[in-house]
Amino acid sequence: AQSVAQPEDQVNVAEGNPLTVKCTYSVSGNPYLFWYVQYPNRGLQFLLKYITGDNLVKGSYGFEAEFNKSQTSFHLKKPSALVSDSALYFCAVPSSSNTGKLIFGQGTTLQVKP
Amino acid sequence: EAGVAQSPRYKIIEKRQSVAFWCNPISGHATLYWYQQILGQGPKLLIQFQNNGVVDDSQLPKDRFSAERLKGVDSTLKIQPAKLEDSAVYLCASSFSPGGEKLFFGSGTQLSVL
């Protein structure tokens, strides 16, 4: 069964520093992988997705993610964090039996401090 | 472009009462999803519609939950009777088509069952 894991409940980083939010995956076949962000009292917003091709995927708000097949990872990164990046981040993968159904990780809270 | 609309924003009920949530997806989006997000967990798909037909309701507790999308546009999710463990945020999402497409989420309905 397809699954993703986010090993950190919370990541703390100072504004201006690079940030990484980790995600590992377990899939059969070629992986499609997504990152979504949830700001307080808001629904989830799409950040980026990996289908195939370049291992570095660029997304919204200056975020990017690095696909690493050997480590089965898809970590979210940003070179310089902003306080406004503070939010809940979810990694997701489509179900193998229903590609319209996303299976989400448990989420990682990113806290960016001034 | 208008986003996914959901109402109400918040709902507090007592256990064994009934409750209904409404969702209007983005115009032209054929696929509509209802996800349940319990505090501290990632969203979990309850039901997926393609136009007015059900594609996946494998994780919908059918003894108490029901959903419909009669005209292939807006949708209603109902819980009757509610249990304490139904306390969660109910997120509606839509996409132009299923399978690998990014989802557009509404702000959700936060349900508290007392």
Across the A/B interface, how many CB contacts are shorter than 8 Å? 66
Higher pLDDT, A98 or A73: A73
Q: Write down the domain spans for chain B.
A: 5-107
Mean pLDDT, chain B, rounded, equals 94
Please give the share of chain A, as a percent, with pLDDT higher than 90: 80
Distances (CA, A) of B62 to A15, A24, A36, B8, B17: 47, 32, 28, 22, 16
Can you give the pLDDT at residue B41? 92
Here the tokens at position A43 are 């629904």
A55 touches chain B (CB under 8 A): no
| pLDDT band at residue A1 using 50, 70 and 90 as cut-offs | confident
What pLDDT does B1 receive? 62
What is the band of A111 on the pLDDT scale with cuts at 50, 70, 90? very high
Q: Residue B101 pLDDT > 80, yes or no?
A: no
Q: Is A7 on the interface with B (CB under 8 A)?
A: no
**Does domain B5-107 match CATH 2.60.40.10?**
yes
Asked if A100's CB is within 8 angstroms of B56's CB, the reply is yes
Of B30, B65, B29, B73, the residue nearest B47 (C-alpha): B65
* B53 contacts chain A (CB < 8 A): no
Q: Is B4 on the interface with A (CB under 8 A)?
A: yes
